[in-house]
Structure 1
């Protein structure tokens, strides 16, 4: 099985780094139906933990990070740095379905298991 790990650091809005990372992650995750031997994992750190906040409302015609992240969460794994969540006041109850609090230990394990690591 090929494992691709994405590590996101930037906020959901204000820059397009998280948006671009999710564009690629969604494309890879969607192809899992065709290539089930591929696994996509996302680890959200720093301001990127806010990507997993449920209930995002954006202007019409604007991309929605929550919607994009949900597509990845349905087919892969999404974990958030717990320390980063705490620093931003983000509670577990505020996370969208399919996303969960994690640790640097798990990130280290995922990194060791990954065939490819992409950092945004």
Structure 2
């Protein structure tokens, strides 16, 4: 099955983005699933490299990178990046600047769209 996850929340504060990535990771582990993640609004910061968190606390950029390494795709809303002062060079590998056209295409591709 093809799943599109649309994340809206900042990487820290609420646990919505964290829980979305946990579910994404488990879907990939289950096998036979295709996953795409679109980061929009405050979730654009989830793909920012160089995040430093307290010991023992999850690092959302590392979680996203692991999902990408295991076959998931990611895109980051370019307009949302610009509004938050995030440059292309600051994004983790495999999570490029993206567009609403890409989100539209991914939505049409998906069997299920999950919004967090």
TM-score by length of 2: 0.95
SS of 2:63 mapped into structure 1: helix
Q: 1:44 aligns with which of 39, 47, 51?
A: 39
Q: CA deviation at 1:8?
A: 0.1
Counterpart-to-counterpart distance in 2, 1:29 and 1:6:
13
Q: CA deviation at 1:31?
A: 2.9
TM-score by length of 1: 0.92
- Structure 1 segments, 4+ long, off by >6 Å, are none
Can you give the 5+ residue segments of structure 2 that lack an aligned partner in the other structure?
none
Instruction: Please tell me whether residue 73 in structure 1 is matched to residue 68 in structure 2.
Output: yes
Counterpart-to-counterpart distance in 2, 1:63 and 1:76:
19
Can you give the 5+ residue segments of structure 1 that lack an aligned partner in the other structure?
none
Counterpart-to-counterpart distance in 1, 2:29 and 2:37:
14
